[in-house]
Structure 1
Amino acid sequence: MQGKIKQKETTIGDNSLRELAGAITQLASPESVQSLIDGGGNAELKLVLKRNNIKDLVEKGYKVVGVFICNQTLDANGREFLDQHDSMRVYDRERISNEYIDVESAGGVSGVFKFDTTYVDPMVIQSGSKATAYILPVQAVELVNMEGIEDGTLFSQNVRQSLGNTKVNKSLSQSVADSTEHQNFPLYHNGVNILCERATLGDGVLEIENYVVVNGAQSISTFKKSVSKLSPDLRVIAKVVQLSDASLSRRITINSNNQNAIKPRDLKSTNEVQIRLRKEFESVLNGEYDLEIKRGQEARNGAEIITNEEAGRLLLAFDLMEPESCHQVYKLFDDKYAEIFARPAVTAWRVILLNIIMQRIQNAMPSIEYKPLSKYGLTRFFLLSVLSELIAGDAIGREYNKDPKKLFDEGKIDNFSGAIDEILGAIIVDLNFEVADLGDGFDYKGDLKSPSKIKDLRAKLLRSFQKDVARGKAKALGDLLAE
């Protein structure tokens, strides 16, 4: 598999495909696979080939398929090369948009807004009976007066918001700050796309009703933050589309959002489960924590941010006991979304508790002696699954696991954190011994992605801890909480 992401609007030719095709030839026969294993190449690649028995599979007639993924469209050369190679699959911009992306979110601002057109005659494009588009340069000082910028309702169908300090936003800010560049702004930056239910042009005014910005959150948010630096010369090209066709609206939204890649997480940002969870966060612990459900969403002042991506990983490892899948972010908001999030047990209290446990794990990670393991992304989720099973096996731990709110109501959260620290210390000591015993046979990347090997290692660590408790060398969770 190979991926290419390009920020400029270009096409993909056959060069990248030829490189991938060359890599495939190294896996075309049992002999070529063995040559890779015996050669002086990448050690991790050799482990992957051995672990997955690639040579045996090729001997049995299996074929290696190359998968190429890119955010641009294949050109004629690329398509011609692909037609000649049945061992290649390409997912380019058009295929991904057509087969995998959908936007179901609704929303926007209810009301009327007026754009001044006394200085320009808008271009009017009639698209059959379904839509009418008005294209014109509008002043930034007008755009910042639109409703719904602060609370994000203006961008509710723009599946991303401003995305923070990205390269695109830095460029926007620089252009806004330099007044001599204001007249050139339309030349440097993409415009804004506004969908509305009704648009009326006349008497030097374009009046729109019930509108939403589907592309342009970055520009408008930057203008709003830099309102003191705006001038009448700073204009942006606006495309205002009056339409009532929902499917056409979705296609416009998808095709307009091309500055930063759309992710499954973005497509779930308006899901009722995510909105409910975020509302819960606002009402617990005096708003001490905030759940980020949309990239670019601004946090409440002073609140600690937990992203719904991190929350999904915590729930996947702790509740579903699948730490081996926590690197596969697509599962969080696609394959396993309902299983992870759409359960009565998933509350703000639960996510906050798991976040606190994870903070204790991350503090303890430097105690892992094998440094590649201590820095590996899945290690922390493996340890979280160990603690999940340990808590489930403790009578007092089970009660708090069932109702995390009790820990906070009873003022025991600090006591609980201290208990987790002590237990983690003992578990990591045993983990260090297990890793040392395995020696070269320990393939940490492969083992922590294997459900069976994770289960075996977790069982060994829990047995060692239980023995230490029985011998008085360690204390059980319930005993630590009772102190």
Structure 2
Amino acid sequence: MQSDDLIYSNLMKIISPLLVKGKGESVTFLNWFLENIYRLDSVAADDAICDSQNDKGIDAIYVDNNNEEIHFFQCKVRQKANGTVGDVNPKTFVASVGQFDSKEKIDAILAGNANQGLKNLLSRLEISDLVGKGYRPVAVYVTNEKHDDDSISYEKVETRLIIYDRDRIAENFIDADQGVGVQGTFEFDLSYVDPLTMVIGSATDGAEVFVFPARALELVALGGIADTSLFTKNVRYSLGNTPVNKSIKKSIERKPDHKHFPLFHNGVILLCESATVADGKLKISNYSVVNGAQSITTFHGSKSKLTDDLRILVRVIALKDDELARKITEYSNNQNAIKPRDLRSGHTLMTRLQEEMSKFSDTYFFEIKRGEVAPKDRIVISNEESGRALLAIDLLEPWSCHQVYKIFDDKYAEIFGRKEVDAARVIHVIRLMRLIEKKIDGIEVKPLAHYALTRYFLASVLSRILRLSESSHAAMRNPSSLTGPEADAFYKKCEAIVGSLVIDLNYEVKAKGPTFDYKAELKSPKQVEELTDLLLKSYEKDVARGKAESFS
């Protein structure tokens, strides 16, 4: 990413997919920032944002438990390309964050007339208790403006402030097509080690490989770290506050662990055009890091804590064949972190469902491994998507649908290990989810409409309704009985019911007023049950009055 990519006209294109949440330009930019720079998932990013924009100057709050910090965000979008940060807005923002630097001040805000959205966020994150325990408030100012002398000077003296101007944001985001790496040379010290050396392939289309434990103090001297040109091939990682970075940072802080670092780190892969060993030095030219961006940038940010004992296994690959370099880059960056669903991909329940789906339907493909190639013209249904839908519709637990570990761990057997969970059932719950997605934009509060748990909540309410009538309950028990025109009529009626539920949900949200904190309530079994009961009562009244579809 280049700094100019964040100029207003370009920025609007980048954040356009998130504008549907209806949060305004500044908060939408902040949403993008939280997902791409702080590396939060979509639910966590939504949860961090204060829906009441700019109340007491706070747009979002994130708790960094690793560093015992509370990050308060304010985001500004400037339309003028030559706009600069200055020190006025950052000073005002730091003063705003000062309102949260003691438990007493926060308790006063909660008891006062502050906007309810901010109160909800403070309560949900238990900010008062955390500050009481010693967590440090930090003001994070995010903008598409550029630093100037005033803002740079103020940030240097104000330890509670971090400014992400457009240059810094661009530096902390890695593009896949940013360039060809660092043009120049670098020398590794090999006086303390004899590297493992291999020649793979022929002299014209092969590669020379050097493997050795490099000092972290040397790695932070590589060119291209600050402007990210060193990592142009490392398309997998964006820099930010990731769990990987936190783990590396902990290891750096524990100096007795430095000598053990190569034992629990996967290492760094570095491509270069040429490499020669002479006089205890490995000299490389025109180089790029393929794997290891997070490690090197974390080292770079913690240079003062590095010791000579902290070393990391480095694989230097010298080659001139562009096609081979492309393959190494592609394969290295495809070695993704293992997810819970990966651990179940070969389990009998998954393989059996996949095989059953292939025989049952010519329309759908049940994906159990990331990256599987589906047969042509098949609609892909992932096991993760299916698990969430089954959890909401069959087990009636929509409040857990954002916790993937439950789907493939705590709740795995309960979700998938049932006689009734077959190909027909998986297709059935997915069809119900798809028709809910068609109606979700009818929710008037757009952040609620695009909150990930909302659709699963509606799915659970629909499931409750379908259990009220014997005819619809029979279809729920045995979805394979739904065929042809009968199936079309069933799902059409379900879609109409969802439309009624959306209308009733809009009414209940208005009735609850500003105290309705959907981010907390949709994760609470008790609150979900209460809201479900309200919608069911409204639906039954509408059915009695002939205003809503019914299967009776």
Structure 2 length-normalised TM: 0.49
Structure 1 residue 288: Cα displacement: 0.8
Residue type at the aligned position of 2:104: E
Amino acid at match of 2:357: F
SS of aligned partner of 1:378: helix
Counterpart pick for 2:392 among 302, 310, 317: 317
Amino acid of the structure 1 residue aligned with 2:394: D
* 2:357 is the alignment partner of 1:308: no
Cα distance, 1:77 vs. partner? 3.6
1:442 alignment counterpart: 516
1:372 aligns with 2:372: no
Which residue pairs with 1:263 in the alignment? 339
* C-alpha distance in 2 between matches for 1:308 and 1:315: 10
Do the aligned residues in 2 keep the contact of 1:73 with 1:93 (CA within 8 Å)? no
Report whether the alignment pairs 1:20 with 2:96: no
Which amino acid in the other structure matches residue 343 of structure 2? Answer: L
The equivalent of 2:46 in structure 1 is none
- Between the aligned partners of 2:262 and 2:120, the Cα distance in structure 1 is 33
1:423 and 2:507 correspond: no
Question: Which residues of 2 match residues 130-279 of structure 1 at below 5 A?
Answer: 183-185=321-323, 190=328, 219=331, 259-279=335-355
The amino acid that maps onto 2:537 is R
| Native 8 Å contact 1:373 1:444 kept in 2 | yes
Q: Normalized against structure 1, the TM-score is what?
A: 0.56
Paired amino acid for 1:48: L
Q: Secondary structure at the match of 2:254?
A: helix
Corresponding residue number in structure 2 for 1:349: 424
C-alpha distance after superposition, 1:361-398 (max 9, x if no partner): 11111111121111111111000000111111111111
Equivalent position amino acid for 1:406 in 2:
S
Deviation digits for residues 178-217 of structure 1 (CA, Å, limit 9, x no counterpart)? xxx97255556549xxxxxxxxxxxxxxxxxxxxxxxxxx
Residue 453 (structure 2) pairs with residue 406 (structure 1): no
Question: Residue type of the partner of 1:465?
Answer: Y
Aligned to 2:551: 477
**How many residues of Structure 1 are paired with residues of Structure 2 in the alignment?**
313
Q: 1:306 aligns to what SS in structure 2?
A: strand
Contact conserved, 1:264 with 1:330, CA < 8 A, in 2?
yes
- Residues 1:459 and 2:533 aligned together: yes
In 1, distance between residues paired with 2:323 and 2:244? 29
Shift of 1:292: 0.8
Checking the alignment, whether the CA contact within 8 Å between 1:426 and 1:465 is kept in structure 2 is yes
Cα separation, 1, equivalents of 2:65 and 2:474? 58
How much does 1:82 deviate? 11
Q: Deviations over 1:282-309 (max 9, x none)?
A: 1113x21111110000011111111111
**Contact 1:332 1:340 survives alignment (8 Å):** yes
Q: Which runs of 5+ in 2 are unaligned?
A: 1-33, 40-62, 72-96, 138-240, 267-289, 292-318
Q: CA 1:39–1:187 in 2, change beyond 3 Å: closer, same or farther?
A: farther
CA distance in 1, matches of 2:535, 2:65: 47
Shift of 1:437: 1.1
Q: Which residue of 2 aligns with 1:124?
A: none
1:334 corresponds to which residue? 409
| Percent identical | 38
Distance 1:95 1:77, change over 3 A: closer
8 Å CA contact 1:4–1:70 kept in 2: the answer is: no
Report the AA paired with residue 413 of structure 1: A
**Relative to structure 1, is the Cα distance of residues 260 and 43 closer, same or farther in structure 2, using a 3 angstrom cutoff?**
farther
Stretches of structure 1 that go unaligned for 5 or more consecutive residues are: 6-15, 84-91, 98-166, 169-180, 192-217, 220-255, 479-483
Q: Distance in 2 between matches of 1:320 and 1:355?
A: 15
CA–CA separation in structure 1 for the residues paired with 2:113 and 2:264: 38
The structural deviation recorded for 1:257 is 9.2
CA contact (8 A) 1:361 1:380 kept: yes
Work out the CA distance in 2 between the residues paired with 1:441 and 1:472: 32
Asked whether the equivalents of residues 69 and 135 of structure 2 are also in contact (C-alpha less than 8 Å), the reply is no
Give 1:445 deviation, angstroms.
Answer: 1.2
The answer to whether the Cα contact below 8 Å between 2:120 and 2:515 also exists between their aligned partners in 1 is no
Whole-angstrom CA distance in 2 between matches of 1:93 and 1:258? 22
Distance 1:34 1:93 in 2: 47
Computed over aligned residues only, the root mean square deviation of the Cα atoms, in angstroms, reads 4.3
- What secondary structure is seen at the aligned counterpart in 1 of 2:366? strand
Cα distance in 1 between the residues matched to 2:448 and 2:397: 18
- SS state of the match for residue 474, structure 2? helix
Shift of 1:425: 1.8
Provide the rounded CA distance (Å) in 2 between the counterparts of 1:445 and 1:269: 31
TM-fit CA distance, 1:259: 3.0
